[in-house]
Every structure is written in C-alpha cells, then in structure tokens.
Amino acid sequence: MWELIREERASLARLVAPLSAEQWATPSLCAEWTVRDVVAHLLMTPAGEPHVRSMVVALVKARGHLWSAGRDVAREYARRPTSELVVELERTAGSRTRPIFVQDANILLDLVVHGQDIAVPLGLDRPVPAAAAVLTLDRIWSMGWPFHARRRLAGVRLRCDLEPGTRGAPQEWEVGGGPEVRGSAAALALLMTGRTAAALPMLHGPGVAGLGARRSLRGS
C-alpha cells in the first residue's frame, strides 16, 4: 500500500512540475477547487495536516460544513509558491505521516481520484496502475459516506480492463449486476466518486444511458 502511495505521489509530481501558471489556476473536477488547491490538499496528508485545532477553526468559520472547511484549509496551504509545492510533493512521496483522523486506506484513494481531478480538466492522460486501481475501486465500493457508490450505482455492472502489471496480477475488475458500464479504472473511479459528468464521455456499454440521471456529488 505505502509503495503504491509513494509511486502515485512521485508520478503526480512529474505531472504537475511542467504546468504553466494558467494551468495551476485551472478549475479542477472538484467544485470550487483549482489544480493548485488539489495539489495542496494532497500535500497536507504527508505533512500531518490539518492539525485538529486548525480544522476546528475552519469548521467554525464554515458553520460546520466539512467540505467547505476542507477547501478553505487547502486554499490556505496552497498560497506557497508553485515550485515549493512541487519540491515538497517529491520530497514527501515516501512519507507515512498522516493526520490522526485520516484512515490509511483512504490515502491511496485520495491520490488516485484527485490525480484525475487534476489531469482531466488539463487534457492530460493519467492511467491508474493495476494494483492501485484494484485497491482504490474496492475501497470506494465498500464505503458509505461520502460517495455511497453501491447505492447510487445499483442495477449496473461496472467493469474495467486494468493496466498491464506484474505476472499473475488481475487483468480485469468488475462489481455489481445489470447492464454493463465499461471504462478505464480512472473513468470508473470518477463515476463512483460522483464525478459523473466528467466520467460519462469515457464510458461505454448498455448501462451508460441511464447514468446521466443519477446524482453527482459536489465535494472532493
């Protein structure tokens, strides 16, 4: 798990290092978050932030709205220079530090999904390695809040071909039952976490037609 996390952080650093100032300011797939905000959010985990005190203060200011509080904390962290954000992403790639209220199982999920939140609006390709894809998709499907993927996507079968990996690794991932919805692991991760509008052009199969009416999620 931690080696996959390290690889995702390192590859993300390579992705964002050459971005222009305009690209850093591009709206991500997270509503009200720029690419810069998302990178800052991902950097906060290996830094052990936000601390409980700063999160409580942010929650008070946001009147208890967790999504808005997280956005505001990330924006504050994002004020540092772009070059510093990239260097920190590279330097902390192997870190196992995390805030006390963050579950280890969600760190890889966060990196995979937010990597797409950054890459898709910029028109950049960011394939998800097979091992990271399986752990991430399994985790999203097993969760309730905030995604409720099992409930929202009931009645369709999700399937994806995995990126080539080590010998003996699974070649395909699937879950659910009903008309098939097929796409890359990145596309399914977006769909399952409520980025429906962004995911739809990447999906195909008889189950896709009914997905547009299903509720998307606002948060990140």
Token digits for 25?
A: 């300011």
Model confidence at 171, pLDDT cuts 50, 70, 90, reads: confident
pTM metric for this prediction: 0.88
Q: Average pLDDT of the chain? A: 88
pLDDT for 183: 97
Beta bridge partners of 175: 158
pLDDT tens digits, one per residue of 139-152 = 999 999 999 999 99
Per residue in 129-138, is it b (16+ CB within 10 Å) or e — as a string? Answer: bbbbbbbbbe
The residue assigned the tokens 């797409």 is: 116
Question: What mean pLDDT do residues 7-22 have?
Answer: 97
Nearest to 109 by CA among 81, 138, 85, 84: 138
Distance (Å, rounded) from C-alpha 206 to C-alpha 141?
Answer: 21
Q: How many CA atoms within 13 Å lie on the side-chain side of 29?
A: 25
What is the reported pLDDT for 220? 47
Q: Which two tokens stand for residue 49?
A: 């932030």
**Amino acid making up residue 13:** A
Cβ burial, residue 148 (10 Å; 0-12/13-18/19+): middle
Per-residue confidence (pLDDT) for residue 108, from 0 to 100: 96
- pLDDT band (50, 70, 90) for residue 66: low
pLDDT tens, position by position, 180-212: 999 999 999 999 999 999 999 999 999 999 897
168: left (phi over 0), alpha (psi -120 to 50) or beta: left
For the chain, give every domain's residue range.
Answer: 2-119, 130-213
Tens of pLDDT, residues 114-132: 999 999 999 999 999 999 9
